[in-house]
Amino acid sequence: MNGDYTKPKFEKNEKTGMPRYIIDRDVYLQEKVIKETQYTARDKSLLVTIKDNFSQWKICAAILSLFPFINWIPTYPVKKYLVGDIFAGITVAVMHIPQGMAYGILAGVTANVGLYMAFFPTLMYVLLGTSRHISMGTFAVISLMTLKVVQTYATVEPSPSADGSIVEFTPIEVVTATAMCVGFILIIMAILRLGTLSTLLSDSLVNGFTTAAAVHVIVSQLKDVLGVSVPKHKGAFKIIYTIIDLGKATPNTNLTSFLFSLGLILFMVIMNEYVKPWLSKKCRFPLPAELIAVVGGTLISKYADFKSQNVKIIGDLPVGLPYPVIPRMELIQLVWVDAIAIAIVSYSVVMSMSLTFAKKHQYEVSANQELFAMGVSNIFGSFFSCIPLACSLSRSLIQEQTGGMTQIASVISASLILIILLWIGPFFETLPRCVLAGIIIVALKGMFTQAAQLKKFARQGKLEVCTWICTFLGVILIDIDIGLFIGICVSFLALYIKGWRSSCALLGSVSGSNIYVDLNYHKAAIPIPYTKIFHYQGSLNFATRNAFKKSLYGAIDVDHRKIRRASLIGDKNGGSKLLNDFRILIIDLSSMWHLDVAGSAILTEILKEMQLLNVKVYLANPMDRVYDTLVHSMALGEGPFEILPTLHDAVLYARSIDNS
């Protein structure tokens, strides 16, 4: 050591033809390694860490990190990317029209709000976001979660406040306050560097949640398909009550709405399942089936006079852009709990899609910057009548498949949406709501087919299946936010159980080499004479210490009761007879990722009990953080432990001491 690197010596094995290496060095104790490598323990306080970080903070670097587009826009390859981005932007704009209108109504507000979502917050995300391929705007699950907030706090009639004044919250005031609250939550998460929080939401949780949310979405659209009115329910089991009310209202079905919806759903299925795949082989531009349905439905409704047949239509669509209005601050304290759930779900969806595209196209996405970008975009959108922001799975896939390479595609899409908002909007005023309901139902096919992944979760383990079922049933039977909370709790419990679980094995060497493997699975491995090597994988703390000791004694075949009996009578020789000439115990800590003081205490207890049996105990190959805990514990009177830096050093050292 001391800065010198000794190259291993090689010689050829004449029998096998494989190279053999020869290492000529002393056996190292961990203490010597620590001294010669000048190891520094992790003892920095939180204040010191914050000071170090801020001392390295540069103003220019901060600006560049807050506005990622500054990094890539100067080197934008116009000839290579521009045509694809324009083509993708036009395609996504075509999809934004029916989806935005449908999901705007799904959120409990007017259809034009969904179009605002494709313009205001989307442009802000272009400036601040790090993903180049996702299509921001409306998303079915987020719209449904927003609808729940609208149904809870939007007042149909004025209601008295605590001081006797009249308070009334319109749906648009509720959704803008929710969007602003979601934005603040996401920015706080970005400041606290909680970008990795979404990774705590397991695939089984997200799958079960979105599948159950799709059921909620379909049930909410059935009233428009049937052309009936049903009471709005709040709280637990509302989906059950809604289904019962729909059953009671079935005799009052509007046949025009029902038949028109069935025809449109059949048209969309044929287009999506047969025509689109065939056409995709002929040209790059995907068939705009949704737009055809919207335009066709609008024209049929206008000339067939559906309004006179009591078919519900969209109604007034104001021309132009909304004036900026500050959301009502008194609503923030009412909606913040629901906003937390919306923020977590929207961020998880955005990050999952962003990471998928980033991996495919080999660029990086910053988790914390995405939090900041979504937070600012939501706050900016809340001033312009927008609901909480998310990315659409279908639009993002189409944007990438049609050649979109950067967020320039979103700029093109937003520009076309602006044209619709300024001049074309009133054309869609006669669009039947049953058309949008049919589009939503067909679009949810992907969310239902993902339930087939339950088989994959079953192969992964029972905990994943339990998480999926609990989340799904919680969302279906109780409510969306409560079901999500149940799913998160079950997922965290499963994560804890997985972390609590440990595995252990006795190791032997491969043909007398320095390679050590599990004796249970490698039958030809050779046990080390007079030595037991116990490999432990897991954490050793106050919760697992008893299980660790039980596993250790079970593996080396020692009866703890007999050890205690030998200690009571002071019979060391009688105790050693229990071990069948076993004199050395080596505990391999290479896979122990956490050790606390209670874990060190149980190691001391094992050390003392092994001394009663004339067995020497050595610890091998600890991680730095585990070594720090061992040193700290020895300073508090635990141990003393003899620690070796590698397992092979421990075997050689133990045998040399034993032979001497």
pLDDT tens-digit map of 16-63: 666 666 667 777 777 777 777 766 665 544 455 455 555 444 555 566
C-alpha–C-alpha distance, residues 30 and 51, integer Å: 32
* DSSP at 527: P
Considering the chain, what is the average pLDDT of its residues?
A: 83
How buried is residue 7: exposed, middle or buried, by Cβ count under 10 Å (0-12/13-18/19+)? exposed
Q: What is the mean pLDDT of residues 513-540?
A: 86
Lowest mean pLDDT among 111-115, 126-130, 247-251, 317-321: 317-321
Q: What is the mean pLDDT of residues 280-306?
A: 83
Structure tokens at 89: 């932007």
- Residue 21, beta-bridge partner list: 10
Residue 580 binned pLDDT confidence (cut-offs 50, 70, 90):
low
C-alpha–C-alpha distance, residues 137 and 146, integer Å: 14
Give the global pTM. 0.71
List helix spans (H) across 192-202: none
In 604-648, the DSSP E strands lie at 616-620, 643-644
What is the per-residue pLDDT for 577? 46
C-alpha–C-alpha distance, residues 112 and 117, integer Å: 9
Find out whether 419 and 93 touch, Cβ atoms under 8 Å: no
For the chain, how many residues are written? 660
Find out whether 125 and 409 touch, Cβ atoms under 8 Å: no
C-alpha–C-alpha distance, residues 108 and 618, integer Å: 67
C-alpha–C-alpha distance, residues 199 and 599, integer Å: 29
Q: What number of CA atoms fall less than 13 Å from residue 267's CA on the CB side?
A: 19
Report the run of H or E that residue 312 belongs to, with start and end. none
Lowest mean pLDDT among 25-34, 71-80, 404-413, 588-597: 25-34
Find out whether 90 and 416 touch, Cβ atoms under 8 Å: yes
C-alpha–C-alpha distance, residues 473 and 488, integer Å: 13
| Residue matched to tokens 């067995």 | 615
Question: How far is the CA of 127 from the CAs of 81, 87, 193, 421, 647, in angstroms?
Answer: 18, 21, 20, 22, 53
Torsion 470-471-476-482 (CA) sign: positive
Structure tokens at 142: 């987020």
* DSSP at 229: -
Torsion 435-436-437-439 (CA) sign: positive
- Residue 167, beta-bridge partner list: 159
Complete domains list, the chain, with CATH = 9-66 (no CATH), 69-158+167-496 (no CATH), 503-659 (3.30.750.24)
Residue 123 binned pLDDT confidence (cut-offs 50, 70, 90):
very high
